[in-house]
């Protein structure tokens, strides 16, 4: 075989050879992650796809549906979020939805092909009486044969246990970005508080869904730092959502062009590929931002190892591609929903 058809870089570079072994590791250095980001694009995508195929059926895409069960009025100040009470975004604060209304949405999601139903509430942390109501929702959604996921803000160890007893399968709590950039985005809760909640969730035996957002004006080194934090958690999150910032009028990231500068879609694809390589057994979710992404970019994300999407017309309060468009894209690419 002609030598030029062989990719020589892993053998030539011991640092990369270690990175590309496909092993599950929690000792990633930032230099290693940076070296992955720096790979020539075809090599990065090839290696991500190779590792992806060691752990997953490359045709399968896990489909989740996300419902906002309590919208708006959140006391936190996340600079990207239209639900924060700190910003004028036109999102009205609403009360927690009723159990019946949530179950109706869950049934519709199941009938449209979703295997997991995620319930999001715009809280700093849940109050006890609200948590009891969410536990009833978790039980009801599970009884419909769906996996359950919730994102309710910070949790104590006891609250995580309570959700586990109700049958919660996944809890979403994102790290958002690198520890260094974090202060530019949120001031009302610390990075450590996020890590503490993730610890309580893991200790309760609930699967962890944890990722971040790119395109917030962070540097490449912050994307490296975010992946390093995720990949060096005590156990890799079972689910890793990677979001592209959706700029919503009224939020600081929509106002401040230096922070909310658009990210090159190929850099987004690189971030997905590096998440796939560093967390080889995690489901990597192509999350917010798909509405503005071309089919070609989404196809590259699947090639880079993304194997989950949110499905449904809305992601909490921001638009998402309609389900017909998603089905057509999956069909065009020969992808099928994961069972
Ligand atoms: S991201 Fe969550 S915690 Fe932050 S403001 Fe929005 S709803 Fe509140």
Average pLDDT value for residue range 292-302: 92
Concerning whether 210 is annotated as a catalytic residue, the answer is no
Distance separating alpha carbons of residues 22 and 43, to the nearest angstrom: 15
135-151 pLDDT, tens digit per residue, is 999 999 999 999 999 99
Atom of ligand 1 nearest to the CA of 76: 5
Report phi then psi at 322, rounded to 5. -70, 160
Which residue is catalytic, options 19, 116, 135, 149?
A: 149
Which one is catalytic: 118, 135, 210, 301?
Answer: 118
**CB crowding 107-129: b at 16 or more within 10 Å, else e:** eebbeeebbbbbbbbbbebbeee
Distance 289 CA to ligand 1 centre (A): 17
- The single residue of 19, 81, 135, 210 carrying the catalytic annotation is 81
CA 328 to centroid of ligand 1, rounded, Å: 32
Among 323, 260, 303, residue whose Cα is nearest residue 53 = 303
- Pick from 18, 56, 41, 31: which is nearest to 271 by CA? 41
Does 84 sit in the ligand 1 pocket, CB within 6 Å? Answer: yes
Among this protein's residues, is 149 annotated catalytic? yes
User: What's the CA-to-centroid distance between 153 and ligand 1, angstroms?
Assistant: 8
CA–CA dist 296, 299 (Å, integer): 5
Q: Which of 50, 113, 123 is nearest to 93 (CA)?
A: 123
Pick the catalytic residue from 19, 74, 210, 301: 74
CA 215 vs. chain centroid, Å, equals: 14
**Least confident stretch, 64-73, 185-194, 199-208, 270-279:** 64-73
CA distance 320 to 310: 8
Q: Is 74 in the pocket of ligand 1 (CB under 6 A)?
A: yes
Q: How far apart are CA 85 and CA 92, in angstroms?
A: 9
Closest ligand 1 atom, CA of 123? 8
The H or E element containing residue 255 is helix 252-255
Q: What pLDDT does 2 receive?
A: 47
97 pLDDT higher than 60 = yes
**Strand locations in the chain (E):** 60-70, 116-121, 147-151, 170-172, 207-209, 212-214, 239-244, 283-286, 308-310, 314-315, 318-319, 336-337
| pLDDT tens for each residue of 172-188 | 999 999 999 999 999 99
Q: What does DSSP say about strands 308-310 and 314-315: parallel, antiparallel, or unpaired? A: unpaired
pLDDT of the residue at 136: 97
- Ligand 1 near 122 CB (within 6 A): yes
* Cβ of 153 less than 6 Å from ligand 1: yes
**pTM for the structure as a whole:** 0.90
CA–CA distance, 68 with 208 (Å, rounded to integer): 19
Would you call 78 a catalytic residue per the annotation? yes
């Amino acid at each position: 075989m002609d030598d030029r058809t062989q990719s020589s870089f892993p053998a030539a570079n011991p640092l990369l050879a270690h990175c590309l072994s496909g092993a599950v590791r929690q000792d990633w250095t930032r230099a290693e992650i940076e070296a992955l980001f720096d790979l020539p694009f075809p090599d990065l995508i090839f290696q991500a796809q190779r590792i992806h195929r060691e752990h997953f059926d490359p045709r399968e895409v896990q489909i989740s549906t996300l419902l906002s069960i309590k919208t708006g009025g959140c006391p936190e100040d996340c600079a990207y979020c239209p639900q924060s009470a700190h910003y004028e975004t036109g999102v009205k604060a609403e009360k927690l939805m009723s159990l019946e209304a949530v179950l109706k949405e869950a049934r519709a999601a199941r009938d449209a092909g979703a295997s997991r139903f995620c319930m999001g509430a715009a809280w700093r942390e849940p109050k006890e009486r609200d948590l009891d109501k969410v536990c009833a929702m978790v039980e009801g959604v599970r009884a419909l044969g769906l996996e359950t996921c919730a994102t309710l803000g910070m949790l104590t160890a006891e609250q995580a246990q309570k959700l586990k007893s109700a049958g919660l399968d996944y809890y979403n709590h994102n790290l958002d970005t690198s520890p260094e950039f974090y202060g530019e985005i949120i001031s009302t809760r610390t990075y450590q508080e996020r890590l503490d909640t993730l610890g309580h969730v893991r200790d309760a035996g609930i699967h962890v869904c944890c990722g971040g957002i790119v395109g917030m004006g962070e540097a490449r080194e912050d994307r490296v730092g975010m992946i390093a934090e995720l990949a060096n958690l005590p156990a890799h999150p079972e689910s890793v959502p990677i979001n592209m910032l959706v700029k919503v009028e009224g939020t600081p990231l929509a106002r401040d062009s230096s922070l909310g500068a658009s990210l090159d879609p190929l850099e987004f694809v690189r971030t997905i590929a590096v998440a796939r390589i560093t967390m080889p057994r995690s489901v990597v979710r192509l999350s917010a931002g798909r509405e503005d992404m071309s089919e070609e970019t989404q196809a590259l994300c699947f090639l880079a190892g993304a194997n989950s999407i949110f499905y449904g017309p809305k992601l909490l309060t921001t638009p998402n591609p309609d389900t017909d468009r998603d089905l057509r894209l999956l069909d065009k690419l020969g992808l099928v929903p994961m069972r």
